[in-house]
A and B are shown apart, each in its own frame.
Chain A
């Protein structure tokens, strides 16, 4: 540690190092906590709550996320589709991508993120449309119940 001479007339400087250390730690903490996955989700959809909703232990191999709004439309890849006929070409394309990779369609999981007041019959019809295109594995997404 440097010992100042008694006759040193320079101004007193506070040691900023601990403060900067701490501030960078805080910034790193908040940066790590930012959930970038949320950007893929459609903010208009308020998921139903379930006490059993837990994130999967390992990520899905080939997720295809379909958001169902309260208005009865499907949002896929940022596009809002008002009829199932508009959705079909996108599902066909996803199926073609999987076939091109020589993978069975059962490897894909249709993740349904539906608004809590969406009509159940609409979601069942959506599942049927996906089944028509050869998909058979579905995941109904729900939000964790906070204590």
Chain B
């Protein structure tokens, strides 16, 4: 270790930057390594008070849509039907809902009146239900990037019995 002479003490005091820079770079490397872009999460709100299965959660809803989702044995989606009308995919489901809401007086009136009940097979993978909810809840306008809302009142039909093991 270098021993300073007494006469050198008059010169300016130099801070030891090396340890600080070491630790600062350690921190920087830590944060860079742990940084991960996490997609944001969002919610679909469903209001379902306890009631008789046939009762609507909203007495003002006069136009229920019943979406039936059936499953393959492996839990994948086998078919979609709205009020017993078979549809090909979720895009067609969205178009059906847009057209249906147009018939009842436009999106504003439709949001107030239309209620969707989702009736899915017990073993259907949950992601298909979320895709169905997405299709009926709205869509993102490709031109503006804004979300156009469709049906807001959603509920589930009473669950099927689980298949016998």
Q: Which residues of A contact B (CB under 8 A)?
A: 16, 19-20, 23-24, 26-27, 30-31, 33-35, 38, 47-56, 68, 109, 111, 113-125, 127-128, 131-132, 134, 136-146
Q: Which of B49, B124, B147 contacts A120 (CB 8 A)?
A: B124
Are B75 and A144 interface neighbours, CB within 8 A?
no
Q: Which residues of B contact A109 (CB under 8 A)?
A: 45
When A116-B127, A121-B123 are in contact, do A54 and B40 touch as well, CB less than 8 Å? yes
Given contacts A48-B127, A53-B43, A123-B126, 17 further A-B contacts (CB under 8 A): A20-B17, A20-B24, A27-B31, A33-B35, A35-B38, A109-B45, A113-B41, A119-B75, A119-B124, A120-B125, A120-B129, A131-B49, A139-B44, A140-B130, A142-B42, A143-B39, A144-B39
In the complex, whether B112 has a CB less than 8 A from a CB of chain A is: no
Majority SS of interface residues in chain A?
mixed
Q: Which residues of B contact A138 (CB under 8 A)?
A: 45-48
Q: Which of B126, B158, B162 contacts A116 (CB 8 A)?
A: B126
When A27-B27, A51-B134, A52-B138 are in contact, do A119 and B40 touch as well, CB less than 8 Å? no
Q: Which residues of A contact B20 (CB under 8 A)?
A: 20
Are A50 and B48 interface neighbours, CB within 8 A?
no
In the complex, whether B50 has a CB less than 8 A from a CB of chain A is: yes
In the complex, whether B114 has a CB less than 8 A from a CB of chain A is: no
Are B44 and A140 interface neighbours, CB within 8 A?
yes
Q: Which of B25, B34, B131 contacts A50 (CB 8 A)?
A: B131
Q: Which of A20, A30, A56, A119 contacts B21 (CB 8 A)?
A: A20
- The size of the chain B interface, using a CB distance under 8 A, is 50
Are B47 and A30 interface neighbours, CB within 8 A?
no
Are A55 and B31 interface neighbours, CB within 8 A?
no
When C-beta atoms are compared, the residue in chain A nearest to B163 turns out to be A121
When C-beta atoms are compared, the residue in chain B nearest to A136 turns out to be B49
In the complex, whether B97 has a CB less than 8 A from a CB of chain A is: no
Task: Tell me the bound Cα distance from A139 to B128 in angstroms.
Answer: 16
In the complex, whether B52 has a CB less than 8 A from a CB of chain A is: no
Please give me the 8 A-B residue pairs with the lowest Cβ-Cβ distance, nearest first: A121-B122, A30-B31, A53-B42, A124-B159, A139-B43, A48-B127, A116-B127, A48-B130
